[in-house]
Homo-oligomer: A and B are copies of this chain.
Amino acid sequence: MEIKTAVTSLSALAHEGRLTVFRALVRAGQSGMAAGRIADESGTPANTLSAQLNILSQAGLITSERQGRSIIYSACFDQMSDLIVFLMEDCCAGEACVATSVEAAANRVLCCTTENKELTQ
């Protein structure tokens, strides 16, 4: 990931409203959420939210798809994954303590995912 791309992604996430929206979309998973529902749940006016979604979208962090009158937004994990890897490799290079913590977190996430899959299968 190039530094300019990283700055764009970081800027998009560096706003409490947008970060909250992004996390809501992460929790919503693959089915995503309609813009209107996000606006309702966050109590943000529709036009303000639209601007926030646009910034996240231009940063490649979310994608949208129209479904009837609604537009469904969902988190796009590729960009987030690239960003995290960039932060770890290019911004913490060679720091074992960071890599160890992060690896442990990755294992916790993988563990939970596996558990969830087992539960839902």
Contact = CB atoms under 8 A, between A and B. Distances in A.
Contacts of A90: 23
Given A77-B97, A88-B105, A106-B106, 10 more contacts: A11-B14, A13-B91, A23-B90, A27-B93, A77-B92, A80-B91, A81-B97, A84-B84, A84-B92, A99-B107
A89 to B, nearest CB: 6
A73 interface: no
Copies assembled: 2
A99 B95 contact: no
A113 B87 contact: no
B81 A94 contact: no
Interface residues of A, number: 50
Nearest to A11: B14
A110 interface: yes
A80 B87 contact: yes
A77 B89 contact: no
B91 A22 contact: yes
A98 interface: yes
A13 B90 CA distance: 13
Nearest to A103: B106
